[in-house]
Amino acid sequence: MFKQILEDMVNQTPGGVGAVLMGYDGIAIDQHVAEGDDVDLQLVAIEYSNVVKEIRKTAEILGTGELQEVSVKTGRYFVIIHAVSPDYFVALTLTRDGNFGKGRYLLMRDTPRLREALA
Amino acid sequence: MFKQILEDMVNQTPGGVGAVLMGYDGIAIDQHVAEGDDVDLQLVAIEYSNVVKEIRKTAEILGTGELQEVSVKTGRYFVIIHAVSPDYFVALTLTRDGNFGKGRYLLMRDTPRLREALA
């Protein structure tokens, strides 16, 4: 069920490379990578789980409220991360010519479905 | 000169709370905080410089290209961070009902001016 939601997200986002549902402990629950892409999504997710943990800690220290979304733009990719629950997050990776706004929208739309599926 | 650019950014962004130009070493060069806001921008910036360092390291490990932009949405704020140079970044904080898109646009527009002013 996770897989289908992740797959739809990647397929419906122009430039979508992959999506992964992951625990803050760095262990992926499920993922989908677009065909033809050789991105090591597992590695990406583990690395970003450290980043997200750091940001979560920061938000706590600063009292700026719960972490909801992080997006990162690098030379090659966009990565958009949404908090799903206190233990899990979902990360969507797209190419730089991909549709960032659509990706954000789909994450926002589908995060509640992932949350329900986790419960 | 930094100050004026930062001030314009904050004033021109609906919901703008503050902007800070900062080194990855956590030392601020200059900042502007909107009147009436009691945000400890210095603290925010120091905390986020750790986050940005972590993300930069991650982008390096993953070979995903240079870090350009990070945005964080928490319960109370948006924080948008732009890389200015290999040593400096600029962070713009806005309230959750602020105009995120306008903030991103202004950071994109003014980052080259900050880069020139640093040179």
Q: What is the ipTM of this complex?
A: 0.77
**Nearest-angstrom CA–CA distance, B34 and A30:** 44
Yes or no, beta carbons of A68 and B47 under 8 Å apart: no
Taking a C-beta distance cutoff of 8 angstroms, is the pair A3, A67 a contact? no
With 80 as the cut, is the pLDDT of residue A13 above it? Answer: yes
* Residues of chain A contacting B77 with CB distance shorter than 8 Å: 64-65
Interface test with A, best of B53, B61, B73 (most A CBs within 10 A): B73
Yes or no: say if B78 and B93 are a contact pair by the CB < 8 Å rule. yes
How far are the Cα atoms of A8, B22, B27, B79, B117 from residue B87, in angstroms, in the given order?
Answer: 39, 8, 11, 19, 14
How far apart are alpha carbons B72 and B82 in whole angstroms? 12
Which of A66-75, B34-43, B97-106 is predicted least confidently?
Answer: B34-43
Please name the residues between 13 and 72 in chain B that touch chain A, using a CB distance below 8 Å: 43-44, 47-48, 50-51, 54-55, 58-59, 61-62, 64-72
CB contact under 8 A, B54 and A58: no
Nearest to A67 by CA among A77, A79, A78, A81: A81
Region A85-114: mean pLDDT is 92
Residue A41: predicted pLDDT: 67
Structure tokens at A90: 């979902």
CB contact at 8 A, B8 and B110: yes
Cβ contacts from A onto B, under 8 A = 79
> Distance, in angstroms, between A91 CA and closest chain B CA?
14
Report the candidate in A37, A43, A32, A35 with the shortest Cα–Cα distance to residue A7: A32
* Global model pTM greater than 0.80: yes
Beta bridge partners of A70: A81, B72
Identify the pLDDT of residue B48: 77
Question: What does R_g of chain A's alpha carbons equal in angstroms?
Answer: 13
